[in-house]
Amino acid sequence: RVSGNLRANNGETLREAAVAGLGIIQSLTFLVGEDLKAGRLKRILPRHALPELSIHALYAQRRHLPAKVRVFIEFLAARFAPEPAWDAP
């Protein structure tokens, strides 16, 4: 049985608490992926995963898409690819 009194609505705060050994957390892998790879954290319920989240980029349709918008969309597509770097084995 797990008990405790630490509560937070910030993923980074919860990650730091878990790394410090203060308890367990349920977190998205983009917050804890490096800690999992480095062995600072360990998956304890691998079959109990959070639902996957999607990200969408919406922008006004224009004849010429501004370069900064195009670059940002390309960044998002690479960063949140079908298998993000933080989920890779």
The string of pLDDT tens digits covering residues 29-78 is 889 999 999 999 999 988 887 777 777 888 888 788 889 988 998 998 88
pLDDT at residue 51, rounded to an integer: 76
Residue 36 falls inside a structural domain: yes
Range of the domain at 77: 11-84
The upper half-sphere exposure of residue 16, i.e. CA atoms within 13 Å in the direction of its Cβ, equals 8
Query: pLDDT at position 63, please?
Result: 82
For CA atoms 35, 41, 44, 50, give the dihedral sign: negative
In a domain, 89, yes or no: no
The structure's pTM equals 0.62
Domain total of the chain: 1
24-29: average pLDDT: 88
Instruction: Tell me the residue type at 68.
Output: K
Residue 5 maps to a domain: no
> Could you tell me if residue 1 is inside a domain?
no
pLDDT band at 86 (very low <50, low <70, confident <90, very high): low
For 88, list phi and psi in degrees, rounded to 5. Answer: -65, 145
pLDDT score of 89: 66
Tokens of 41: 């954290």
Give CA separation, 18 vs 27, 32, 33, 47, 51, in Å: 10, 10, 13, 19, 21
Residue 77 CA to residue 56 CA, distance in Å, equals 10
* Within a domain: 45: yes
